[in-house]
Every structure is written in C-alpha cells, then in structure tokens.
Amino acid sequence: MITLTNVRKQFGRDIAVKDVSLHVDRGEIYGIIGASGAGKSTVLRLMNLLETPDSGTVEIDGSVLTSLSTRQLREKRHVIGMIFQQFNLVANKTVYDNVVAPLKLAGRPRATHKERVLECLRFVGLESFKDKYPAQLSGGQKQRVAIARALANEPHVLLCDEPTSSLDPNTTAEVLDVLKSINERLGVTIVIVTHEMDVIKQVCDRVTVMADGSVYETMDLVPSGVPVIDNNPSWFVDQLKKAGETDA
Ligand SMILES: Nc1ncnc2c1ncn2[C@@H]1O[C@H](COP(=O)(O)OP(=O)(O)OP(=O)(O)O)[C@@H](O)[C@H]1O
Ligand SMILES: [Mg+2]
C-alpha cells in the first residue's frame, strides 16, 4: 500500500531522513516510534509528498507519487487523509464547515456535501456538534472533528502525526477507538507516528523504530487492544490507590 524506497531528505546541513526504505501493507495499522528528532514526522510527510524527497521513490495506493505531475498529485492526495497533534481545525469555521472544506476542494457535487459531512460526523459521534466552533470543543472532540474531515473524501490511507499526544489517557482511548473502527469497518490503512509506547502496543500490527533519520528496526506486534474508557471519578480514585500500592 505504501512503499518508500531509499528515501532521503535533508534540511540545510541537517539530514532528517537517511536512506529509509519501508513497506506498509494494505489494511494494517502501522506505527512509527522513536526519539524526538529521529525523523518520524518527516517520514510521514514524505508519504504524501508534503515533503519532497531529495532522492528515492514514494509509492502509495498504486501510484508512484514521486513521478506524478502537480495536478495528478493534488488528485491523489484526496485519498490520503492526514491528522495532526494540534488538530489544525479552522478556528472561525463551524464543525460542519471544517468537514465540508475537503469536499469542496475535491470538487465533489454540492448536492452530496451535507449527507457526507453528517455521515462522517456520525462516524466519530459528533453529529450534534455540527454548528459549534472549534473553541467550544474539548481536545478529544477537536481531534474527532479532524478525523471526520480527513474521512470526508473516503481516503484509502490515513496518516496520523502524534494524534493523541495532546490528550489525556481516557480521551486517547476514545480517539484510538475511532481510528481502530476506521481501520476495521472502512478498511482504511493507517500509519501512526507517536512517541507514546502504549499507543503502539494497543493498536499497531507492525512498528518501525526510527533513530537518527534511519530505520533502526521493524517488528510485528499483536495489538493488545484499547483499554475500556471509564470517566467515572471512582476510576481515577482506583488508579491512584493502585499507583500507591506499586510504590509501597
Ligand atoms: N521544515 C524543516 N526545516 C528544517 N529542519 C527540519 C524541518 N523539519 C524537520 N527538520 C529537522 O529534521 C529532523 C527530524 O525532524 P522530525 O520532525 O521528522 O522528527 P520527529 O521524529 O518527528 O521529532 P518529534 O518527536 O520531536 O516530533 C530534526 O533534526 C528537525 O530539526
Ligand atoms: Mg514529529
């Protein structure tokens, strides 16, 4: 589904990505983990050519992106969704207007917009929030709107850069549940860049560990599953008591 072959990217004198080759299979949830500055985000941005490689090739969903024209690349990007740590919602647009934006960009027929936007918002459980503005939402809700926006054009791939790194553990579980059902119910291939070990262990089928701009190791995993979300205050009390026991 995604193949990077001998990809390299340099910023000034800094080589962010050195000769990286990796392959993501269709339908898997693939993790990329490593220390800050290891080149994780750059590799993810190379997958949809938000960064152009200095050398090497990028193939995604049957197209060699590095040999497409600007116009062909713009078309292809419609089937590659992306979400970010800081959500990147447009602050002065409602939830509805944020999610409809990619449909307009892709030139989808106007008559189909409303139904598609509501369908995507329903998928992430936020249909009733359509007239709210981003500032009126919690972090987890903002990320779910960003996911709905990324789903609008029916992507085959979803690239996620630190999707849960600004969220508390329960909200993280909520967002991971949504990503998992996008993978299972919609068959979307997902790549998650994160520095959070638990995220990788819970949902990823495979992981690449990056160090210093290179692939250090790639391994198969058996995902342990997303923990059950519990917002009951007694859950917090129980966790604190358990933590006390471990320390004792
Ligand atoms: N646009 C850019 N201009 C200049 N240097 C950059 C740019 N993007 C990344 N770099 C450099 O490339 C290297 C890899 O950065 P990258 O953002 O890919 O790392 P990362 O693994 O995602 O780190 P983090 O965990 O902190 O997000 C770093 O040294 C960074 O400073
Ligand atoms: Mg990063």
Q: Where are the domains of the chain?
A: 2-79+155-247, 95-153
State the pLDDT at residue 111: 97
Q: Are 45 and 51 in contact (CB under 8 A)?
A: yes
Which atom of ligand 1 is found nearest the CA of 195? 25
Q: In sequence order, what E strands does the chain have? A: 2-11, 14-24, 29-34, 55-60, 63-64, 80-84, 157-161, 189-193, 206-211, 214-220
pLDDT more than 90, % of the chain: 90
State the pLDDT at residue 247: 55
Q: Is the pLDDT of residue 248 over 80?
A: no
| Residue the block writes with tokens 């990823």 | 204
Which atom of ligand 1 is found nearest the CA of 210? 21
Q: State mean pLDDT over 15-40.
A: 97
CB distance 175 to ligand 1 below 6 Å: no
Q: So what's the architecture of 2-79+155-247 in CATH?
A: 3-Layer(aba) Sandwich (3.40)
CA distance linking residue 240 with residue 235, whole number of Å: 9
State the pLDDT at residue 218: 98
CB distance 16 to ligand 1 below 6 Å: yes
Q: State mean pLDDT over 53-61.
A: 96
State the pLDDT at residue 226: 93
| Residue the block writes with tokens 């981003």 | 134
Tokens at 161, concatenated? 């850069």
Q: pLDDT confidence of 25, banded at 50, 70, 90?
A: very high
Q: pLDDT confidence of 246, banded at 50, 70, 90?
A: low
Going by C-alpha positions, the residue among 142, 146, 177, 145 that lies closest to residue 160 is 146
CB distance 9 to ligand 1 below 6 Å: no
Q: State mean pLDDT over 189-208.
A: 97
How many angstroms does the Cα of residue 41 sit away from the middle of ligand 2?
A: 4
